[in-house]
């Protein structure tokens, strides 16, 4: 959470010195950088995490495969840069892509180390790496932006953060590769990771097709506003969802053969995750106008309605992510791929219909697709661990209704008030949070009990 907090503060600070056009250029580049990163990982990190035990030969095989693919991916980015710039009709993209692509190699150096720490559930050590890297790279980027370097400040941030993360992981001396590469080990890792690689490779252009089309059809400034709103939403959402996934995937992989324990564990995960995510996203949508007024210059106010709708679209993300996690834990990476293809097909069809009506229609289409994507995800959870849709609805619908009512009332009150922005934020934010927690307690929601026990456990560990 600290790292995401640093990233959020950095983004807000950079917004004071950079324009939507600058963020639009970054959005165009990040599509291709994300594709290269997925290719470099090759699904090996998830394969290593899932295995009950790993050998030195398997770790070294994954490491050298990652490095080799990273070199090839960077060369591909370097030589494709002129054509990417030509596609977007943005000549300045060519040198930007050729420089930012170096981050792919730095990321590859850290894949195995991250997997080792995730297997051991040592997330505090990961924080000791990612937090200082995010903070230092953020400060460097802000200085560059203040100095007038424009979009290059964002490039410096991406590259320096990747470099620092890699250096700090190696400084920890978690593991040292040996000069060996096993073909059998490679095949075994790829047998599981290959499907995940295919799913992720198709997911990158799908997830970024909105930015690609917006930048091409509309303008880089519009793409920048969309990208900025999505970045703010995802900084919050990904922290909440990923923090749960990082802990649950390795832990529940240890009991993957016991469907009863898996079901009990995942019911609690869905209950607690939605209890936290739903009110955060809904209250963010209700109060975002005040937040932008307080924290950002007027050039970014046009992103407010985008972020509000994106928060609603993000409500289903934790449910979809948790249901996919069940498939991974049960070793059904093939279903992860096929379900991904189904959701991408529906998303593309919806996008074809909505893009001609503007950005708002595009995001409304995302809301519809997130609901449609939940249906097959939950179906296979029923088949694999007997966790039915009815049971899932019972675990999160009460939370959704409570958060929705509190959020809607907060938005109505905020719209009617004309108080100083900071006063409104403090009173409405704290008041809504208190009413939500009180309502959960009065209604005796099971999610409230699960969340309370987790808080007590964490406080107990800190006091111990």
Is the C-alpha dihedral spanning 88, 26, 321, 443 positive or negative? Answer: negative
pLDDT tens readout for residues 293-350: 999 999 999 999 999 999 999 999 888 888 887 887 777 878 877 888 888 889 899 9
pLDDT at 428 over 90: yes
> Same domain, yes or no, for 354 and 233?
yes
Residue 298, domain extent: 219-464
| DSSP letter for each residue of 222-270 | HHHHHHHHHHHHHHHHHHHHHHHHHHHHHHHHTTTT-HHHHHHHHHHHH
Confidence of residue 254 (pLDDT cuts 50, 70, 90): low
Instruction: Tell me what pLDDT residue 456 has.
Output: 67
pLDDT at 464 over 60: no
> Same domain, yes or no, for 139 and 238?
no
Cα-Cα-Cα-Cα dihedral of 232, 234, 237, 243, to 10°?
A: -120
Mean pLDDT over 55-77 rounds to: 88
Contact partners, residue 169, CB within 8 Å, separation at least 6: 109, 110, 113, 114, 129
Q: Give percent of the chain with pLDDT exceeding 90.
A: 41
pLDDT tens readout for residues 352-393: 999 889 899 999 999 999 999 888 888 888 888 888 888 889
> Same domain, yes or no, for 248 and 331?
yes
Give domain status of residue 214, yes or no: no
Instruction: Tell me what pLDDT residue 457 has.
Output: 60
Q: Which of 160, 186, 208 is the last residue of a domain?
A: 208
> Same domain, yes or no, for 295 and 379?
yes
Instruction: Tell me what pLDDT residue 458 has.
Output: 57
Give domain status of residue 233, yes or no: yes
> Same domain, yes or no, for 236 and 187?
no
Do the Cβ atoms of 325 and 249 come closer than 8 Å?
yes
pLDDT at 209 over 90: no
Mean pLDDT over 99-128 rounds to: 85
> Same domain, yes or no, for 175 and 256?
no
> Same domain, yes or no, for 137 and 161?
yes
Q: Cα-flanking dihedrals φ and ψ of residue 242, to 5°?
A: -65, -35
CA diameter of the chain: 68
Q: What's the number of domains the chain is made of?
A: 2
> Same domain, yes or no, for 177 and 281?
no
pLDDT tens readout for residues 100-111: 999 999 998 888
pLDDT at 194 over 80: no
| Residue 86: count of CB within 10 angstroms of its CB | 12
> Same domain, yes or no, for 121 and 16?
yes
Mean pLDDT over 269-298 rounds to: 91
Q: Which of 172, 188, 208 is the last residue of a domain?
A: 208
Is the C-alpha dihedral spanning 30, 202, 335, 317 positive or negative? Answer: positive
Q: Which of 185, 208, 231 is the last residue of a domain?
A: 208
pLDDT at 96 over 90: yes
């Amino acid at each position: 959470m600290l790292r995401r907090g640093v990233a959020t503060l950095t983004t807000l600070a950079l917004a004071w010195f950079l324009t939507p056009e600058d963020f639009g250029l970054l959005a165009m580049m990040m599509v291709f950088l994300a594709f290269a990163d997925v290719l470099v990982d090759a699904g090996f990190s998830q394969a290593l995490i899932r295995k009950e035990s790993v050998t030195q030969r398997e770790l070294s095989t994954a490491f050298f495969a990652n490095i080799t693919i990273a070199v090839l991916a960077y060369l591909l980015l370097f030589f494709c840069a002129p054509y990417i710039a030509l596609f977007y009709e943005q000549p300045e993209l060519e040198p930007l892509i050729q420089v930012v692509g170096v981050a792919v190699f730095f990321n590859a150096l850290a894949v195995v180390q991250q997997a080792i720490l995730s297997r051991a559930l040592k997330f505090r050590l990961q924080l000791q790496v990612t937090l200082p890297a995010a903070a230092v790279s953020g400060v460097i980027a802000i200085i560059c932006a203040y100095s007038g370097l424009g979009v290059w400040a964002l490039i410096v941030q991406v590259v320096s953060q990747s470099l620092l993360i890699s250096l700090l992981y190696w400084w920890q001396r978690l593991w040292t590769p040996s000069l060996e590469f096993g073909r059998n080990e490679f095949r075994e890792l790829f047998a599981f990771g290959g499907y995940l690689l295919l799913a992720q490779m198709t997911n990158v252009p799908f997830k970024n097709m909105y930015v690609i089309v917006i930048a091409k059809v509309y303008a880089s400034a519009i793409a920048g506003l969309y990208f900025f709103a999505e970045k703010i939403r995802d900084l919050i959402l990904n922290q909440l969802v990923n923090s749960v996934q990082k802990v649950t995937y390795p832990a529940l992989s240890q009991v993957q053969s016991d469907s009863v324990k898996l079901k009990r564990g995942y019911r609690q995960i869905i209950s607690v995750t939605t209890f936290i995510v739903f009110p955060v996203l809904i209250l963010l949508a209700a109060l975002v106008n005040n937040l932008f007024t307080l924290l950002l210059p007027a050039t970014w106010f046009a992103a407010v309605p985008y972020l509000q709708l994106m928060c609603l679209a993000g409500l289903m993300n934790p449910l979809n992510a948790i249901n996919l996690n069940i498939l991974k834990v049960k070793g059904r990476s093939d279903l992860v791929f096929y379900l991904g293809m189904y959701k991408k097909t529906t998303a593309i069809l919806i996008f074809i219909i909505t893009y001609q009506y503007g950005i708002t229609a595009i995001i409304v289409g995302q809301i519809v697709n997130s609901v449609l994507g939940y249906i097959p995800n939950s179906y296979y959870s029923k088949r694999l661990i007997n966790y039915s849709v009815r049971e899932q609805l019972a675990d999160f619908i009460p939370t959704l209704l409570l958060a929705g009512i509190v959020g809607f009332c907060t938005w109505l009150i905020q719209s009617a008030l004309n108080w100083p922005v900071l006063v409104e934020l403090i009173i409405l934010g704290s008041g809504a949070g208190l009413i939500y927690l009180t309502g959960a307690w009065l209604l005796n929601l099971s999610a409230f009990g699960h969340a309370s026990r987790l808080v007590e456990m964490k406080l107990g560990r800190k006091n111990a």
